[in-house]
Chain A
Amino acid sequence: MTDFRLRGFSRLQAAAQDPIGYARSWKARTGRPVIGSFPMNFPSELVHATGALPLIVQESRTPITEGRSLLPEFYCSYTRSVADQAAVGELDVFDAFVLADHCVQLLGAADVIRWAKPETPMHFAQFISSMDDPWSGAQVRDKVDALRVEVEEIVGVTVTPEVLGASIRLFNSNRRLLREFYDRRKSGALRISAGELQVLVKSSMVMDIEEHTSILNDMLDGLDVDSAAPASLVRLHLSGHFCAPPRVELLDLIEECGVLVVNDDLYHGTRYISTDVPETGDPFDALATWYLDRNVSAPCGTRVQRNVDWDSYLVASLEDSRADGVITLMAKFCEPLMLYYPELRRVLDDRGIPVLLIETEHEGLAAESVRTRVETFVERISRKKVAA
């Protein structure tokens, strides 16, 4: 059997499509708490080590209703959706929330949750976003401790180094398996759409990690090499989109335009699975190290680091995947991406790498106009390839 889709993919898809439903049934099945965390830097291993389910709160597809009067409409779709979910009671399944990030809009959404659900514990361990200062490491280590104390208190369990070490190994092996799918796609050994890959990564943010890993193992087991994709397809890298996944319809639409997506740096993609937590030494130190390492292996526009650039990382990754161009997906109103995008574009322009910017919104997708723009972009690249 070669089709990975026949081996548990639908279970991953169900969890990716309805994370809250998954959380409810997991809770009913295990009787254990569910702790909501937020993108993009929270170390889920810490919650896992308490026996609770760490679940990264996802953007919901439902239209914003109550949340409209809690956050202005000029906020990114992720934060508006989270505020809305809090206001309409969608987040009631969570026993606590933990937050380790610093994007100003996300903080607004977090305050809405605190206001809407005052009885639910919420903890913000602000991980320093300036990554290469002499005090950065110690600061993150301090915050990991603060988080540990908090989650221990919430769940009523002490996190020992041994148990945390075991959780770290589980998450690392899950990330390794996900990277295996990426590597096979890049080498042409596996034909998997960007939307399907997103399901694999997104479900790993939601599901019990052991269950997820076992499904991934099953999917990879005995997978045959696919026939190579037609060389006529334009090879593209998808860039950008923090916090929430771009719509699968959008990814499908892009691929329908004669494109082979060969890599990405999306949060619901390479960014999330880029870095493993060190398995030797003190596991609490290791979580701090992971945070700092991550911005080196997949630099993020929300972090500040002098000796690391997203743009040079992107160029190197394009060379590696032999991508012909870049589509940047920007969640409308996402300031970190708005700030960084000109630098990305400048570096790509300097190297003659075509780039197309597509802005995404919570409600709807202007499918036809996006299709036209992608088609034109693809044609431009094809002509360039022929001329070369």
Chain B
Amino acid sequence: MTLELPPTRQSLDLSATKFITPEKPDKSNRLASTKAGGKMVAQYWENIFTAKERGKHVVWYNGTALNPIFQAAGLEWCHGEAFSARLAAMHLEGPAQAAGEEYGYIGELCSYARTHLGCAVMTQKGITEKQSGIVGMVDQDELAAKLPSPDFFVNAYAGCSTGQQWDAMTYRVFGKEFPLFNVSLPMIWGNKKDSGYLRGSEWEKTPLYVEEQLKKLIEFIEYQTKTPFDWDALSENMYYIKKASELRLEAMALCAAAPTPATYWDWVASIAPINFLPANQLLVDYFQGVKDEIEQRIRDNVSAVANERYRVYFDGIMNWNKLGFLTRKFAEYDVAVVAGRYTHDSFWQEPDLIDLDRPLLGMAQHYLICPINHGLKIMEELLLKRCDEYGIDGIAFHSTRTCRAMTNPQHILARTAERDRGIKSFFFEGDVADASFYKDESLESGLVAMLESIDQQRSKARV
């Protein structure tokens, strides 16, 4: 049928009205307990900003969660990706990215890296300006310029060459003035037939090598701080991490219930606490609170998405600019995003590996099971496991524009899920910390098409 339009003098360009949707009710029901985490994180950063005034040693680090070591050494720690993510989540990434761009970092480079390099440029500028007495960025109330300059750097990036090179560049931005320690984390590539998740000869051998490097890291820190390392404090920190992690996993497992009492977005809100906040009773209490609320919701029959009709898995790094937006968006379509690679396969996700008598080995093992540090075979295994655990109907692949580490296997993972479980998926464009790459049309059309295929599949199954 063709659309007969009467002759008109008006413009026929309807695009302006096409995307205007009336205000939709928010069908998402986020956990209240994660708000406490938000406060803890804000306090953590405020504390970091005053580190120098308090005479503390500051380490800038990238990659994996070395913070229990830093904490035991009495350091203040600034995690590069975490700070970039925070800036993006608060929509304050602009000045840092502009500073990075001015320095020469182009827009296709990992947006975490270029945001953080921009912070480095601003911090470095701040040091120079302080010395010369010029009032500059540091004196303005701009979050991006508030990081204290490092006393040294530690890099421990798993699975992504960009991470390591990024710190090599930060080191240069600061004129090679501050020492840099590299922990090399080999990929668990799966060369051998016996390889798999937490098994095989590659898995048995590699953590021992990393454990040795962690011992050297501790020697390096002792040298920098001129203070003997507190091994008891490290074990104590790992005790709290282990407890917090167990509670987090128990709470996550409760979300196998349908409808789910909490979603992926709640787990995203809980990343910062488990990833870099100090290991202490407060951390444990936080995850106890999250678990309690989820249990209460189950008892009260409260679901995280009103009228949950589809259960979706999220693959890709979080789009920090869009956390609230995406939460509402998926819920609008009755989609509960239940689990994801970023949240469920990272961040102390195997507490049984933590041995308080030999903490470094368990830490090394965790660093190696970062979800971008495996070959395809293990990623396929993990994806299918999660899909089974959470009764997943579909997968949203966040084609994270500047994070090749996350996007590397996505197309093949999509084919694997369809082939082995008949699970449909779609891709949408976006990025970790650069809002310009997000395409609403790509999300909207992909999601709708996937939900339609799921409906068709279901009606066929009913026949």
Contact = CB atoms under 8 A, between A and B. Distances in A.
Interface residues of B, number: 47
Contacts of B113: 339
Interface string A99-131: 000111101100110110000000110101110
Nearest to B206: A126
B411 interface: yes
A239 B183 CA distance: 30
B212 interface: yes
B160 A104 contact: yes
Interface residues on chain A, size class: 35 or more
Interface stretch (B41-49, B165-173, B333-341, B454-462): B165-173
A26 interface: no
Nearest to A334: B108
Contact of B165 (A105, A123, A146, A302): A302
A345 B191 CA distance: 39
Contacts of A335: 108-110, 161-162, 165, 404
B405 A104 contact: yes
Interface stretch (A69-77, A212-220, A257-265, A374-382): A69-77
Contacts of A346: 104
A343 B109 CA distance: 15
A129 B53 CA distance: 36
A340 B164 contact: no
Contacts of B172: 309, 343
A336 B163 CA distance: 10
A342 B412 contact: no
B180 A115 contact: no
A340 B165 contact: yes
B376 A114 contact: yes
Interface in B135-175: 155, 159-162, 164-169, 171-172
Contacts of A111: 375-376, 408-409, 412
Interface stretch (A29-37, A51-59, A133-141): A133-141
Contacts of A342: 103-105, 169
A301 interface: yes
B443 to A, nearest CB: 16
B189 interface: yes
Contacts of B161: 102-104, 129, 302, 335-336
Which of A107, A115, A309, A343 has its CB near the most chain B CB atoms (within 10 A)? Answer: A107
A108 B113 CA distance: 20
Contacts of B162: 104, 335-336, 339
Contacts of A304: 155, 164-165, 167-168, 182
A108 to B, nearest CB: 4
Contacts, number: 121
Contact of A107 (B104, B187, B402, B411): B187
Nearest to B104: A342
A290 interface: no
B399 interface: yes
Interface string B351-385: 00000000000000000000000011100000000
Contacts of B439: none
A365 interface: no
A104 B412 contact: no
B349 interface: no
Contacts of A135: 184, 209, 212-213, 216
Contacts of B184: 128-130, 133, 135, 139
B109 A339 contact: yes
Contacts of A341: 104, 106
B407 to A, nearest CB: 6
B130 interface: no
Given A129-B164, A304-B182, A341-B104, 11 more contacts: A102-B161, A102-B187, A108-B404, A108-B409, A114-B376, A135-B213, A302-B165, A304-B155, A335-B161, A339-B169, A342-B105
27 contacts: A69-B411, A72-B407, A102-B161, A105-B404, A108-B404, A111-B408, A112-B412, A124-B189, A129-B161, A130-B182, A133-B184, A135-B184, A135-B213, A139-B209, A302-B161, A304-B168, A306-B176, A306-B180, A332-B108, A335-B110, A335-B165, A336-B165, A338-B105, A339-B113, A340-B169, A343-B169, A343-B172
Interface of A: 69-72, 74-75, 102-105, 107-108, 111-112, 114-115, 123-124, 126, 128-130, 133-135, 139, 146, 150, 301-302, 304, 306, 309, 332-333, 335-336, 338-343, 345-346
Interface of B: 103-106, 108-110, 113, 155, 159-162, 164-169, 171-172, 176, 180, 182, 184, 186-187, 189, 191, 209, 212-213, 216, 375-377, 399, 401-402, 404-405, 407-412
Nearest 10 pairs between A and B by C-beta? A342-B104, A108-B408, A130-B182, A111-B376, A304-B168, A338-B109, A124-B189, A104-B161, A104-B160, A339-B165
